Amino acid sequence: MAQIDIADAAMAGLKLTVRRPLTVLVWGALVVVYFIVLFAIFGGGLASTIASLASTPGASPAPQTILALVGSLLGFFFLLFLGVMVLGAVIMAAALRAELEPGSPGLAYLRFGAEELWLIAVNFVLWVVLLVAQMVMAIPLAILTFGMVIANFSPHPGFVPGPFVGTVAGAVGMRLIGQFLILGVTIWLWTRLSMGPVMSFRERQFRLFESWTLTKGHAWPIFLTMVLIFVMVIALEIVVYGLGAIAVLALVAPIPGIGHPQTFFSRPPGEWVALFAPAAAVVAILFVIIIGVANAMTWTAVGRIYRQLVPQGDAVPTLV
């Protein structure tokens, strides 16, 4: 029976980053550039709305201002969701390609073809499966905790603080325990279905549920691998964002008028946007590093686990 080497899988992304740093940075830059484009499209309207509200403190905003703000936010979040789905699949495919097909040509292993389309489909279905599972588990938990609280309001005369507080505390405690159980089951489901995207990528077919057979008996090593990656990414973020915060504060603190936000943001948007540009550039660079490395570590590890479970040339098991 194939075994998962946790350390080898968890370190695969770091090894790729050291071996091909520009490739990993390109993945991060792809996401950051998309965000910049979104802000270029919607940021002007948001900045104008902020300046308008700041210039008339205490006054009720005009309905058209609120509608414009809501419309901009809805458009922004719709394109953000769409971009996350597409770019997430493209970067995931690139990381899998770097691990499973290192000789593939192309800039940073990036493409947009059948593999990426199958990844979009399987990732969406995986997200729906996990969401539905959470909802199914949450319904009885909500009914139970709600029933506990309602039961306290039995037809007794007056209000008795002690039993009421005890019932609410018990309901909150049960809710927290239930949420941890739901989280645990969700993570377990993800580990069992985690090879589905890789199988779909390799075979150019929908292969989400076939992962159930492939990962049988391997959920715990997969979970430990992802926990190790999570800890390493958090450690990286602490270091990078700590240094970045120092740099941003050094760039923002000397800006004239920054100590009086209402007056500062009532100025024409172009002025204060330009003053924040150096700090925004530093933040963008930080996001490029974090996004690129996090994606490399996560999806290269998934690809390495797949290689350990299915050695090259072996047949992929079918769902039983």
> Average pLDDT, stretch 204-229?
93
Q: What's the confidence (pLDDT) of residue 53? A: 58
Average pLDDT, the chain: 82
Domain ranges of the chain: 6-309
pLDDT tens per residue, range 252-275: 777 766 665 655 556 665 665 667
pLDDT tens per residue, range 183-196: 999 999 999 999 99
**Which of residues 106 and 11 earns the better pLDDT score?**
11
pLDDT tens per residue, range 90-127: 999 999 999 998 887 778 999 999 999 999 999 999 99
> Average pLDDT, stretch 227-242?
93
Please give the Cα distance from 80 to 39 (Å, whole number).
10
pLDDT tens per residue, range 25-62: 999 999 999 988 888 787 666 666 665 655 555 556 66
- Going by pLDDT thresholds of 50, 70 and 90, the confidence category of residue 316 is very low
